[in-house]
Structure 1
């Protein structure tokens, strides 16, 4: 993984990036600039485009079996709550509203 793919983004920035990618497809004029504005934190269009390319490369490696699948213990422990592993940002609803407002512009 190159420097452009390094995990220097916060979870909040990653989520904003994912949401913005879903909202602004490749037909969006100045797509990378728009997404960089949504991500915020001084993110540049080049950083956004580079991060996107890293994701595309990762998907290609997964689809061609270049990435080994993780080993999962075959315990059928249905009492485990996997959702407890996720840390959702309480302020994200404000960011979602900001994205909706940007989309209306």
Structure 2
């Protein structure tokens, strides 16, 4: 019985290499998506807003939240900080507060 011999083995090795590379890239994307997390973002946001002359008070602890929730909220805080600091340059300012 003939199964393609050496060429088939080479193709299987190449498919495996491509699959492993794809898996490596997916893991890298997921790692980047997680970002620094809620606690880090809150501290960074507080420092950035304070440096811009805006008062920022952080209350509560993120420790009790699920890792995925902390990661998602970290992105929310980052985006809110970006919007707030951009809006701080305009004449109209809007404070925001969040509690969890």
TM-score for both structures, normalised by structure 1: 0.28
User: Which has more helix, going by share of residues?
Assistant: 2
